[in-house]
């Protein structure tokens, strides 16, 4: 049970990474959040039920930064993220 107000997001919520950090080991590259999620410095996650989430750096989404249906023109490069 989360003691914080407002309560931390549940491990199943999309914003689960916003939970308070209760244990941090930067020298080992991981932190434990209040909701039981272990986050790693490479942005991977381990959920309390044992499920894992692959690293998801913001740079991995650069191709999705433009509105739907908009793509770079012929011979043009996509804008840098």
For residue 71, pLDDT beyond 90: no
Query: Which helix (H) or strand (E) covers residue 32, if one does?
Result: strand 30-33
For the cut 70, the answer to whether the pLDDT of residue 36 exceeds it is yes
Q: pTM for the complete prediction?
A: 0.67
Q: Is residue 35 a contact partner of residue 47, using CB atoms and an 8 Å limit?
A: no
Does position 65 have pLDDT exceeding 90, yes or no?
no
Which residues lie closer than 8 Å to 27 by C-beta, 6 or more apart?
none
Mean pLDDT of 50-64: 72
Residue predicted with more confidence, 70 or 21 = 21
């Amino acid at each position: 049970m989360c003691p914080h107000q407002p309560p931390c997001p549940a491990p199943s919520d999309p914003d689960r990474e916003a939970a308070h950090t209760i244990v941090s080991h930067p020298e080992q590259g991981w932190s434990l959040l209040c909701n039981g999620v272990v986050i790693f410095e490479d942005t991977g996650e381990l959920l309390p039920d044992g499920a894992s989430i692959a690293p998801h750096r913001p740079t991995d989404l650069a191709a999705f930064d433009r509105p739907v249906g908009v793509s770079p023109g012929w011979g043009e490069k996509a804008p840098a993220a």
